[in-house]
Amino acid sequence: MSLSKKRVQDKIEIVGEFKTIQVRYSDQIIEDGKVLSETYYRDSIQCGDIQKAQEHNVEGIANVVWTANLKKQYKEVLKPIHN
C-alpha cells in the first residue's frame, strides 16, 4: 500500500466580457493508483496578466483570447472616473 498526493490541473475556463481565465486544480490523495480523496483549488487570471498566465501554464490560451483590442478595452474600464 502506497499513498501519494498530487495536484492536477483539471479544468480551464474562459469567462466574462474580458475573458478571465479560470484554472481549477484537484489535490488528490492516491492509494495504489486509486483516488481516495480530492479537494479543489481555483485561481483566476485577469485580462493582460501574462506573467500569471505563464505561472499557470495557460499563456497560449491567453495569447489567443486576449486580443490587443480587448486588453485596451479592459484598461479603459479600470481607469478611475475623473470629474
Average pLDDT over residues 6-25: 97
**Residue 46 exposure: Cα atoms within 13 Å on the Cβ side:** 5
Placement of cell 481549477 in the chain: 24
- Residue ranges per structural domain of the chain: 3-78
Mean pLDDT of the chain: 94
Placement of cell 480523496 in the chain: 37
Grid coordinates belonging to 52: 500569471
Most confident of 2-6, 60-64, 78-82: 60-64
**Residue 30 exposure: Cα atoms within 13 Å on the Cβ side:** 11
